[in-house]
Amino acid sequence: MPYFENVRTWFRAAFMGVADATVANTTNEVSLVPPGVGDRVIPAGFFLTSGNTARLILRGTLSTGLVPGTATFKIKLNGTTLISGSASALLASVSTSGFQLSTTITARASGKVVGAGDARFVSGLLGQRSFVDLNLDTPTAITPDVDNVIDVTVAMTVASAQNSIRTITCTLELLYA
């Protein structure tokens, strides 16, 4: 008997970044999603089916100076913050370290969603790690019958040319239940 018998779920890569997106030398909230092919729009009605899930993954690099400050990440639908991570202290003097942010947003009941994800940074010879939780534990009402544009933003507390986060790859996948 096959392991995946009667599995109905299928997915579609809706958006793929084709250029870099860099946030540096600013304390403004700026998008980390680069230009790409496809569409960052989660279609109207997608979140009306329980189990439908949007999965967004960004990978790139992080660099910081002696005074890195903190970074706050937000996941947004149509410009409204759905998930906000707490301000995370960035490690000092990091040079082109690995960075990954991943999140999933899943329909629970008609028009309500939950989300979970994290942002991870790895740096230094000892592989120091830093994590930011991006969780939406309580089912939250959204407007499911309109197209929802997804975005990821970051705001850093210290503006420095040495403090930068660069998205190199970005993928949005829509998983249908």
**Does residue 145 fall inside a structural domain?**
yes
**Does residue 9 fall inside a structural domain?**
no
Are residues 139 and 109 in contact, defined by beta-carbon separation less than 8 angstroms? yes
From residue 96, how far is each of 41, 60, 85, 149, 164 by CA, in Å?
31, 9, 22, 29, 9
In terms of pTM, does the model score above 0.95? no
Q: Indicate whether 125 pLDDT > 80.
A: no
Query: Mean pLDDT throughout 83-92?
Result: 83
Q: What is the pLDDT of residue 1?
A: 38
Helical ranges in the chain per DSSP H: none
**Does residue 139 fall inside a structural domain?**
yes
**Does residue 6 fall inside a structural domain?**
no
Q: Indicate whether 2 pLDDT > 60.
A: no
Q: What is the pLDDT of residue 11?
A: 61
**Does residue 40 fall inside a structural domain?**
yes
Q: What is the pLDDT of residue 93?
A: 87
Q: How far is residue 173's CA from residue 177's CA, in Å, rounded to a whole number?
A: 13
- pLDDT band for position 6 (cuts 50, 70, 90): very low
Nearest 10 degrees: CA dihedral of 18, 24, 30, 31? Answer: 20
Q: Indicate whether 45 pLDDT > 60.
A: yes
How is 63-99 classified by DSSP, letter by letter?
Answer: E--S---EEEEEEEETTEEEEEPPPEEPPSS--SEEE
Query: Mean pLDDT throughout 115-140?
Result: 72
Parent domain of 140 = 17-176
Q: How far is residue 90's CA from residue 71's CA, in Å, rounded to a whole number?
A: 7
Q: Indicate whether 47 pLDDT > 60.
A: yes
Tokens describing residue 47: 């979140």
Nearest 10 degrees: CA dihedral of 144, 59, 173, 16? Answer: 100
**Residue at token pair 């496809």:** 38
Residue 123: burial class (beta carbons within 10 Å; 0-12, 13-18, 19+): buried
- Domain of 74, CATH number, reads 2.60.120
**Does residue 10 fall inside a structural domain?**
no
Higher pLDDT residue, 91 or 44? Answer: 44
Q: Indicate whether 110 pLDDT > 80.
A: no
Q: What is the pLDDT of residue 128?
A: 62
Which one-letter DSSP state was computed for residue 47?
Answer: G
Are residues 73 and 132 in contact, defined by beta-carbon separation less than 8 angstroms? yes
